[in-house]
């Protein structure tokens, strides 16, 4: 689940909507990519900061959006831990991961059986590229700056230095 994208949807829902004449392929694309996720569930916003404000104001759908978002995170963490046979580190990064102590705390909550121990004080005010797990946590929990703009800039620089002309589309 993301800001405007839900994440996973049973395909039967989509074919049902098409058969009923409620949505065509463009409509489904718009719903799945622009009107779902935090925005679709909350009815407020695609921005986690607005969702958290909505929760503080007693907005029930904002709370539901947050709960679904966190549920998806926990399921993904648990699923990956099962597939990998355990965990050494859990990394929070990018917009929500870097900036939302509430999401990090909720995502780690209930996963102590995997060895995750979040330091709530450090989590509340981390600096980027910092560990936020307790000293007795068997899994390190980190907040790492994504720096997506630098990754894009490096790839552009490599392309420019290679002398290869950009494709025209």
Residues 2 and 36 in one domain: yes
C-alpha 22/C-alpha 137 separation (Å) is: 50
**Quick check: is 76 in a domain?**
yes
56-108 residue pLDDT tens: 999 999 999 999 999 999 999 999 999 999 999 999 999 899 999 999 999 99
Domain at 47, CATH number: 3.30.420.40
From 45, 65, 86, the end of a domain falls on 86
Q: Is the pLDDT of residue 167 over 80?
A: no
State how many domains the chain has. Answer: 2
End-to-end CA distance of the chain: 31
**Quick check: is 13 in a domain?**
yes
Q: Find the domain containing 154 and state its range.
A: 87-163
125-160 residue pLDDT tens: 878 899 999 999 999 999 999 888 888 898 888 888
Residues 3 and 53 in one domain: yes
Q: What is the pTM of this model?
A: 0.83
Residues 44 and 69 in one domain: yes
C-alpha 27/C-alpha 31 separation (Å) is: 6
Query: Could you give the percent of the chain with pLDDT greater than 70?
Result: 96
pLDDT, residue 17, reads 87
Residues 1 and 82 in one domain: yes
Residues 7 and 66 in one domain: yes
**Quick check: is 169 in a domain?**
no
**Quick check: is 168 in a domain?**
no
**Quick check: is 42 in a domain?**
yes
**Quick check: is 3 in a domain?**
yes
3-44 residue pLDDT tens: 988 788 888 988 898 899 888 989 989 988 899 999 999 999
Give Cβ neighbours of residue 131 (< 8 Å, ≥ 6 apart). 122, 140, 141, 142
**Residue 92: CB atoms within 10 Å:** 22
Residue 64 near residue 30, CB atoms below 8 Å: no
Residues 81 and 110 in one domain: no
Residues 3 and 78 in one domain: yes
Query: At CA 162, angle to CA 157 and CA 165, rounded to 5?
Result: 95
């Amino acid at each position: 689940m993301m800001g405007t994208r839900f994440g996973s949807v049973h395909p039967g829902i989509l074919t049902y909507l098409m058969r009923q004449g409620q949505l065509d392929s463009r409509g489904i694309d718009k719903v799945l990519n622009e009107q779902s996720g935090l925005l679709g569930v909350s009815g407020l916003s695609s921005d986690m900061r607005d969702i958290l404000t909505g929760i503080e104001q007693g907005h029930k759908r904002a709370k539901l959006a947050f709960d679904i978002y966190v549920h998806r995170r926990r399921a993904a963490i648990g699923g990956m831990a099962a597939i990998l046979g355990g965990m050494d580190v859990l990394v929070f990064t990018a917009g929500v991961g870097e900036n939302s102590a509430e999401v990090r705390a909720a995502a780690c909550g209930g996963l102590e059986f995997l060895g995750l121990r979040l330091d709530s004080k450090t989590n509340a005010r981390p600096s980027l590229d910092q560990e936020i797990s307790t000293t007795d946590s068997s899994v390190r929990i980190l907040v790492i700056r994504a720096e997506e703009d630098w990754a894009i800039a490096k790839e552009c620089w490599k392309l420019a230095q290679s002398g290869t002309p950009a494709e025209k589309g």
